[in-house]
Amino acid sequence: MDFLLAQILTGLASASSLFLVAAGLTIIFGVTRVVNFAHGSLCMLGAYIGWTVLSHTSRDPAAFVGGVVATFAIVGAIGALLEATLLRRIYHAPELLQLLATFGVMLMIQDMTLWIWGAGDLTLPRAPWLRGFIRLGEERFPVYDLVLIFLGPGVLGALWLLLHRTRFGTLIRAATENRDMVAALGIDQRRLFTAVFALGAGLAGMAGALLLPSGSANLHIDLAVVVDAFVVVVIGGMGSLPGAFIGSMMIGLLQVFGVLLLPKITLVLVFLVMAIVLAIRPNGLFGQPAAATAQAIARWDFVGPASSLLGWIGAAALIVATAAPLFTGAHVLGIMTEAAIAVLFASSLHLLMGPAGIASFGHAAWFGIGAYASALATRWLAAPLPFALLLAPIMAGVLAALFGVAVVRLSGVYLAMLTLAFAQIVWAVVFQWNTMTGGDNGLLGLWPPEALGLRGYYWLTLTLCTAASVLLRRMQRAPFGYALRAGRDSMPRAEAIGLPMVHLRLAAVTIAGAAAGLAGGLYGFAKGSVFPGYAGIDRSVDALLMVLLGGVQTISGPIVGALAYTMLYDGLLRLTTAWRFVLGAAILVLVVGFPRGIAGAARVWHGR
Amino acid sequence: MPITRRLLLASAGAIAAPGLIRAQASTPIRIGEINSYTAIAQFTLPYRKGWELAVAEINAKGGVLGRQLEVISRDDAGKPQDAVRLAGELVNDQKVDILGGTFLSNIGLAISDYALQNKKLFIGSEPLADALVWEKGHRYTYRLRPSTYMQAAMLVEEAAKLPAKRWVTVAPNYEYGQSAVKWFRTLLTAKRPDVTFVDEQWPALGKIDAGATTQALLAAKPEAIFNVTFGADLTNFVRQGNTRGLFEGRAVVSMLTGEPEYLEPLGEETPPGWIVTGYPGEAVDTPANRSFIAAYRAQHGEMPKMGSVVGYAFIRAVEAGLRKTGSTETEKMADGFAGATFETPFGAAYFRTQDHQSTLGTFVGKTALRNGKGAMIDWHYADGAKYLPGDDEVKKLRPG
């Protein structure tokens, strides 16, 4: 009994610290509609800044509280700066572009933190009161965890008072409901948004500083925290503070009992719960259906066929690419193989994001499934290359179809988050199921047969990727593509004229999944190995970057974007160890300066 | 234009230049080095300083085989697929003679597989996976650090002496954690049939729920604990364990915890008496270690960590292999590196012929608190050669 009580209290303590991060995230989303990927980085900054502040103060409780409050203020100021210089410029960009911009910020903060505080984990010596415990029968329970348990509801209460008893709070709630109305009433939105972002950032920073007594300031906090915070916010309903609180409780307790009952699958469990909640309540427990998407869609252009100039450029590029093996070395050929695969991968995502208007933040799931389908067939069934490659799109397509059935009615950020959840489940299964998938060490020795050689495999990849990409392009200008677009721009009207939108969207998810699966299968043989990372967040972000770099609104976008990104990334990695900083900065420049991507900018320029 | 002697010489030189380069009298020997400098900065930055020191020392004394050493280093971003592409770049464009480095096991294995496919020598410096020299071992891959198996075997030797019979394990849930626990259980049960393992905890890497894990371990009422968590997970685990009294009256045996990278963050919370593998730093009063520390501090102005030792030993191992082989031809090196003996701050070690594992060992000792900082006491150097299975066993494990 004592044990159970202690476990529940432990769960509540971790739920509280989770809530502090999630609260900031959900407030920021509620008002600004920005899904802030850099929220984990703000938490990490809080830990480091808190460390710097607290290692210069005395170790009594008052100084600790003072240090945490100071961290809240400093990180809040950083948040305000971030909002005023960057986010303010991208409020009208599509959601995924904003997500990407904050991802860029995350990359830059990673490098800056390393430069400022160094590579080692930083810990704060715990004062005796922080090491204390109370007794629950036989069990000892840390006093600090007890403090945390009360802190979560305390902060919730304080925020509730702020939101319901102050003018500032009223404005926040009004802006969460309808920000255009707030603007129409003559409220200075800029100051409101800056203040809200500062508040959210401050909360994240405070949560970071509060990690110190039970852990360390380290360079891995950002990603570890932000993914959990996303899960909590999505479960609770984005923008809902009580939702975030309930979501934190659910995840906190789930972790604790997961450790007891199913210690090996805690990673999967969290995402599974999120998927189930969203399948039942598509907007989370307390979420409102998002009204903002209509605005974003209004700015979509009509996508026409490629101009003849573009056609000639494409044909010339294809001829050069086909002839390339005759005059390039092995390394360039390797990069070109990757580029061809990247084109297909990006094109498959573009089908979803462009005509279908389905935001996917977990496109790597299909890529990973394809790669592992081929690899496992080769490993366990000794399948020959053609069969293994065939299996990649089939497996990915089948699973995408099953997944599609569950999610096709969702839209916007929730759909994006559900795709993320699914990709994380795939990743976690592959990562932890050692006996089957080789776990973290991956499956090795998957090189294409000797007879094919490097060139042969390149030509095979080029043929398959070009054919599939052309097919995906063709679909967009077929009735299928137009029907998808109709649904994207106005679901009720599309359904009113008799378009079976659910089936059409399901078909789009399946086709895109199968195409990404083929890309994954080809990639595995190109690298000679497959790893869990193929289904990881990084890989999904790669795909998004390629599409957005090229421009969502143009059909050539994914091709241009995939080529540009492959070159950029490879070059950066070779040239500088500060590649994260440079890549992050490049993303920001792109999002702010060229929101339509390279192909979009070229079209505007060409059209003049 | 009059044909002067100088012009004649110059043009002769220009015509002969490619040949001269091929003769390699003055071009450096190029080592293509790949590591997770951004993803695992904590371990790899000291590692880089270590190999930088060794390269500077060797080149100051005239290099190897009459040629200077040049390391071309790449950051793999923690991703095996990027590492494989960079290996291609290093081999095909930079024309490196040897590939080396890597920290994460999956990247080590991926590069090793690339090396096999492309017939290039690869010296894995830091990855611990047993598969690197056993299941996936081949003639082109050598490995420097003591593997998961070896470190587990070193700890089992001490663990078997403990009276404890009820054991629990806690390890990050991925390949490294899983093999460490597997070997520890197998080897300990072989030595001590009377022990039982009553619980196992598998926190996700980097996401330990330390309070719940500690509580669950306590509930199993163990007499001893085998820990494989490291880094930030370890700090969280130790703090919760200290407060909740998990380590009181219990023996703890722990992988890698004595390495300064992981011990330093524990600070005054370092639980005393844990049996660990690691590096006691200045306390190791051998001439090799003393001069290494002095040179390292002179160049970098800080104390070396475990990564520094590995980085330094990596270049020393390459140097010794090159000297023994007398050539940079891959096939000759693949044979020649076997048996090459090299000096490290820990003493001499060599690459075994049967599995290309080096005999570099590590220190086994107990943790203690010294002036508010973690330290290793009662340590001894565990020579890697003593903690490897017999040759018949290795043959079975290593098909290639």
Positive or negative torsion for Cα A185, A191, A195, A201:
positive
* B291 in a structural domain: yes
Position B31, amino acid: I
| B105 to chain A: closest CA residue | A441
A267 touches chain B (CB under 8 A): yes
Q: Is the pLDDT of residue B91 over 90?
A: yes
CA distance B110 to chain A (A): 7
B9 touches chain A (CB under 8 A): no
A495 touches chain B (CB under 8 A): no
User: Could you write out the DSSP letters of every residue in A254-282?
Assistant: HHHHHHHH-TT-HHHHHHHHHHHHHHHST
Which residues span the domain enclosing B371? 149-284+363-387
Q: Tell me A470's DSSP state.
A: H
Residue where a domain stops, chosen among A480, A508, A536: A536
Q: How far apart are CA A571 and CA A573, in angstroms?
A: 6
Do B110 and B98 have their domain in common? yes
Residues of B in contact with A123 (CB under 8 A): 235, 265-267, 269
Residue A290: per-residue pLDDT: 57
Residues of B in contact with A440 (CB under 8 A): 104-106, 174-176
Residue B19: per-residue pLDDT: 43
Do A271 and A375 have their domain in common? no
* B1 in a structural domain: no
Q: Quick check: helix, strand or coil at residue A556?
A: coil
A137 touches chain B (CB under 8 A): no
Q: If contacts are CB pairs under 8 Å, which of residues 184-213 in chain B contact chain A?
A: 200-204, 206-207, 209-213
Higher per-residue confidence, B393 vs B196: B196
Q: Quick check: helix, strand or coil at residue B254?
A: strand
Residue where a domain stops, chosen among A507, A536, A565: A536
Q: What's the pTM?
A: 0.88
* A565 in a structural domain: no
Q: What is the mean pLDDT of residues B12-29?
A: 56
Least confident residue range of A200-204, A542-546, B219-223, B272-276:
A542-546
B209 near B233, Cβ under 8 Å? Answer: no
Do B380 and B332 have their domain in common? no
Do A185 and A148 have their domain in common? yes
Q: How far apart are CA A181 and CA A185, in angstroms?
A: 6
Residue B143: per-residue pLDDT: 95
Q: Is the pLDDT of residue B20 over 50?
A: no
* B16 in a structural domain: no
Do B240 and B268 have their domain in common? yes
Q: How far apart are CA B94 and CA B33, in angstroms?
A: 11
**Residues A309-324 pLDDT 10s:** 777 888 888 888 888 8
* B19 in a structural domain: no
Domain count, chain B: 2
Residues of B in contact with A573 (CB under 8 A): 74-77, 82, 86
Q: What is the mean pLDDT of residues B314-335?
A: 94
Q: Quick check: helix, strand or coil at residue B195?
A: coil
Do B114 and B195 have their domain in common? no
Place of tokens 């496109």: A363
Do A289 and A315 have their domain in common? no
User: Which of B33, B34, B37, B38 is most worth mutating to test chain A (most A CB atoms within 10 A of its CB)?
Assistant: B38
* A548 in a structural domain: no
| A536 to chain B: closest CA residue | B79
Q: What is the mean pLDDT of residues A278-286?
A: 82
Q: Percent helix, strand and coil across chain B, each rounded to 5?
A: 45, 20, 30
Burial grade of A267 (CB within 10 A; 0-12, 13-18, 19 or more): buried
A90 near A101, Cβ under 8 Å? Answer: yes
* A563 in a structural domain: no
User: Which of A109, A432, A434, A441 is most worth mutating to test chain B (most B CB atoms within 10 A of its CB)?
Assistant: A441
Least confident residue range of A471-475, B98-102, B121-125:
A471-475
Cβ distance A111 to B216 less than 8 Å, yes or no, reads no
Least confident residue range of A281-290, A541-550, B90-99:
A281-290
Which residues span the domain enclosing A90? 2-293
Do A365 and A245 have their domain in common? no
**At B181, is the pLDDT very low, low, confident or very high (cuts 50, 70, 90)?**
very high
Cβ distance B80 to A531 less than 8 Å, yes or no, reads yes
Do A268 and A379 have their domain in common? no
Q: If contacts are CB pairs under 8 Å, which of residues 337-366 in chain A contact chain B?
A: 338
Q: What is the mean pLDDT of residues B332-359?
A: 94
Do B51 and B132 have their domain in common? yes
* A599 in a structural domain: no
Do B155 and B62 have their domain in common? no
**At B22, is the pLDDT very low, low, confident or very high (cuts 50, 70, 90)?**
very low
Residue A380: per-residue pLDDT: 86
Do B129 and B154 have their domain in common? no
Q: Is the pLDDT of residue A265 over 80?
A: no
B223 touches chain A (CB under 8 A): no
Do A271 and A326 have their domain in common? no
Cβ distance A439 to B175 less than 8 Å, yes or no, reads yes
CA distance B10 to chain A (A): 31
Cβ distance A140 to B175 less than 8 Å, yes or no, reads no
Residue A158: per-residue pLDDT: 94
User: Which of A573, A576, A580 is most worth mutating to test chain B (most B CB atoms within 10 A of its CB)?
Assistant: A573
Position A254, amino acid: L
A489 touches chain B (CB under 8 A): no
Cβ distance A447 to B117 less than 8 Å, yes or no, reads yes
Residue A303: per-residue pLDDT: 57
H-helix segments, chain B = 5-23, 41-60, 80-92, 105-118, 148-159, 175-191, 210-219, 231-244, 260-263, 287-300, 306-325, 330-336, 391-397
Of the candidates A586, A539, A580, the one whose C-alpha atom is nearest the C-alpha of residue A564 is A586
Do B158 and B234 have their domain in common? yes
**Quick one: tokens of A334?**
């390797």
**Residues A396-427 pLDDT 10s:** 999 999 998 877 777 777 788 788 888 988 99
Query: What is the Cα gyration radius of chain A?
Result: 25
Residue where a domain stops, chosen among A513, A536, A559: A536
Cβ distance B178 to A434 less than 8 Å, yes or no, reads yes
Residue B21: per-residue pLDDT: 44
Q: What is the mean pLDDT of residues B340-360?
A: 94
| A330 to chain B: closest CA residue | B92
Cβ distance A442 to B245 less than 8 Å, yes or no, reads no
Do A198 and A256 have their domain in common? yes
* A22 in a structural domain: yes
Spell out the SS3 assignment of A58-92: CCCHHHHHHHHHHHHHHHHHHHHHHHHHCHHHHCC
In chain B, the N- to C-terminal Cα span, in Å, equals 64
Q: Quick check: helix, strand or coil at residue A569?
A: helix
| B232 to chain A: closest CA residue | A216
What is the rounded average pLDDT for all residues in chain B? 90
Residues of B in contact with A213 (CB under 8 A): 239
Do B183 and B240 have their domain in common? yes
**How many CB pairs lie under 8 A apart between chains A and B?**
212
Q: How far apart are CA B196 and CA B384, in angstroms?
A: 27
Do B139 and B36 have their domain in common? yes
Cβ distance A145 to B211 less than 8 Å, yes or no, reads yes
Q: What is the mean pLDDT of residues A119-144?
A: 88
Least confident residue range of A413-417, A536-540, A576-580:
A413-417
* B104 in a structural domain: yes
* A541 in a structural domain: no
Domain count, chain A: 2
Q: Is the pLDDT of residue A129 over 60?
A: yes
* B141 in a structural domain: yes
Cβ distance B236 to A214 less than 8 Å, yes or no, reads yes
* B14 in a structural domain: no
Do B229 and B218 have their domain in common? yes
Do B119 and B100 have their domain in common? yes
The domain spanning residue B259 has which CATH number?
A: 3.40.50.2300
What is the rounded average pLDDT for all residues in chain A? 87
CA distance B202 to chain A (A): 6
Phi, psi (deg, nearest 5) at residue B219: -65, -25
Q: If contacts are CB pairs under 8 Å, which of residues 334-393 in chain B contact chain A?
A: 372
B175 touches chain A (CB under 8 A): yes
Do A284 and A327 have their domain in common? no
The domain spanning residue A268 has which CATH number?
A: 1.10.3470
Residue A592: per-residue pLDDT: 85
* A589 in a structural domain: no
Q: What is the mean pLDDT of residues B334-360?
A: 94
A28 near A34, Cβ under 8 Å? Answer: yes
Position A556, amino acid: S
Q: Tell me B391's DSSP state.
A: H
Give the HSE-up count for residue A586: Cα atoms under 13 Å, Cβ half-sphere: 17
Q: What is the mean pLDDT of residues A113-125?
A: 90
Of the candidates A449, A468, A302, the one whose C-alpha atom is nearest the C-alpha of residue A388 is A449
User: Could you write out the DSSP letters of every residue in A185-208?
Assistant: TT--HHHHHHHHHHHHHHHHHHHH
Do A245 and A371 have their domain in common? no
A440 touches chain B (CB under 8 A): yes
Residues of B in contact with A120 (CB under 8 A): 42, 261, 264-265
Q: Is the pLDDT of residue A536 over 80?
A: yes
Q: If contacts are CB pairs under 8 Å, which of residues 536-565 in chain A contact chain B?
A: 538
Residue B304: per-residue pLDDT: 95
Residues of A in contact with B80 (CB under 8 A): 442, 527, 529, 531, 533
Q: What is the mean pLDDT of residues A347-368?
A: 90
* A80 in a structural domain: yes
Q: Is the pLDDT of residue B277 over 90?
A: yes
Q: If contacts are CB pairs under 8 Å, which of residues 97-116 in chain B contact chain A?
A: 104-106, 109-110, 113-114, 116
